[in-house]
Amino acid sequence: MTQIAQPFGVRIRGTGSCVPERRLTNNDLTKLVDTSDEWIIQRTGIHERRVCDPSSEGTFTMARDALKNALDMAEMKGSDLDLIIVGTVTAEMTCPSVAARVGAALDAIPAAAFDLSAACSGFVYSMNIAQALIRSGQFRTVGVVGAECMTSIVDYTDRTVSILFGDAAGAAILTRDPDPRIGCLYSAMGADGRGWDSLYIPRRAQEIPANDIDNPIALGNLRMNGKEVFRFAVTKFREVIEDAMSKTGLTPESVGQVVCHQSNIRIIESAREKLGIPKEKVYINIDRFGNSSAGSVGLCLDQLWRAGKIEKERPFVMVAFGGGLTWASGVWRV
Ligand code: ACO
């Protein structure tokens, strides 16, 4: 999907995020599974992650609070929204959507609302779709959220997945702008469903592939072939960033921040080094928050925005990959 001259621009009016207070450190995990602080840090870059209190927190509450923070920054109210999109694969219910419940909680009635399932690519997919709907003239103000309570689908007896994931939500308020040069300059989305069984959350036993012979998981928990995902991601991540930069004429010098899905420090570092992008342009928070799937890019964006690191002069790139397998990028000028 390529953006060419359009009648409207799209302005990011506010960003927000929400993470639970509770921390789960690597040392905490050593009490649950056979692992070590050194192994986790060396293989993933993660020191700790945030985890919901299941009695009072989850995807819905984090999505609601992240969007409220973004509305506050934008000095807007829920009733100003005419669409809410929530990227998530951890909705508490398949119906209603998290987005509809968030709309009700923030008085965003009768804004349209739907959830988008693209796993870790969920926030970038949602931003791409939201901006296209605004540019087309169909919607004026859209609340975009990526929210994930990964701890609700992680099996804490499986050391290959439990060490990676944390809970978080990130949000942005997008509005129509008369200046068509503002907003998303280029976006791309893709999927290769042939690799679906590298990362899946089965609800029925018959969905578990016959070759997944050592599958110890309970239904409803995330199953991941870490090696397969790593192999896919390490190439795809670089390709997607390279594509976004070359299509917009950006270079390692002229690009602003590259806001990456926090999958694994080694995947991010490998792409950064191969593309020659300076370290200070690739934000990392996986050490403190782990991999929060669709929550991660929105969380990074909000932290960068509030730190004044998203510059007007330099377009920034968002990039993610995840279950599906899916991938997405967006290049934005603010
Ligand atoms: N602690 C200690 N040892 C471990 C652990 C653990 N938690 N997990 C695995 N090991 C062991 C393995 O058993 C293996 O032992 P062996 O050599 O005796 O057989 C050894 O460590 C190496 O295991 P690998 O699986 O090869 O480890 P790898 O370096 O590939 O790291 C990891 C595993 C971190 C999961 C990596 O493959 C990865 O990050 N993959 C990508 C995952 C990812 O990004 N997922 C998110 C996708 S986004 C989304 O949509 C949700």
How confident is the model over 292-324, as pLDDT tens digits? 999 999 999 999 999 999 999 899 999 999 999
Closest alpha carbon to 122 in 331, 294, 317? 294
Q: Please tell me the pTM assigned to this model.
A: 0.95
Whether omega for the bond prior to residue 110 falls within 30 degrees of 0, making it cis, is yes
Q: Is the CB of 196 under 6 A from ligand 1?
A: no
The domain that contains 138 carries what CATH number? 3.40.47.10
Q: How far apart are the first and last CA of the chain?
A: 20
Q: Is the CB of 35 under 6 A from ligand 1?
A: yes
pLDDT at 102: 98
The DSSP secondary structure of 294-332, one letter per residue, reads THHHHHHHHHHHHTT-S-SSS-EEEEEEETTTEEEEEEE
Structure token pair of residue 306: 């509030």
Q: Residue 205: pLDDT band by 50, 70, 90 thresholds? A: confident
Number of domains in the chain: 1
Closest atom of ligand 1 to 261 CA is 48
Among candidate residues 128, 184, 291, 300, the one labeled active-site is 291
Return the half-sphere exposure (C-beta side, CA atoms, 13 A cut-off) of residue 267. Answer: 28
Mean per-residue pLDDT over the chain, rounded: 95
Contact 88, 63 (CB under 8 A): yes
Q: If DSSP codes are grouped into helix, strand and coil, which group holds residue 68?
A: helix
Contact 62, 169 (CB under 8 A): yes
| The dihedral formed by the CA atoms of 238, 198, 222 and 297, expressed in degrees to the nearest 10 | 10
Q: What average pLDDT score do residues 216-237 get?
A: 88
Task: Look at residue 211 and tell me whether its pLDDT is greater than 80.
Answer: no
Determine whether 47 is an active site residue.
no
Task: Look at residue 5 and tell me whether its pLDDT is greater than 70.
Answer: no
Closest atom of ligand 1 to 33 CA is 7
Determine whether 291 is an active site residue.
yes
Determine whether 149 is an active site residue.
no
What distance in Å separates the CA atoms of residue 84 and residue 287, rounded to the nearest whole number?
30
Cβ partners under 8 Å of residue 39, min gap 6: none
How confident is the model over 93-136, as pLDDT tens digits? 999 999 999 999 999 999 999 999 999 999 999 999 999 999 99
3-class SS shares of the chain: helix, strand, coil, % to 5: 35, 25, 40
Query: Which stretches of the chain are DSSP H helices?
Result: 26-30, 37-44, 59-74, 98-105, 122-135, 159-162, 226-247, 265-275, 286-289, 295-306
269 is in which domain, residue-wise?
1-334
Contact 185, 254 (CB under 8 A): no
Structure token pair of residue 262: 């926090």
Q: Could you count the other beta carbons within 10 Å of the beta carbon of residue 247?
A: 16
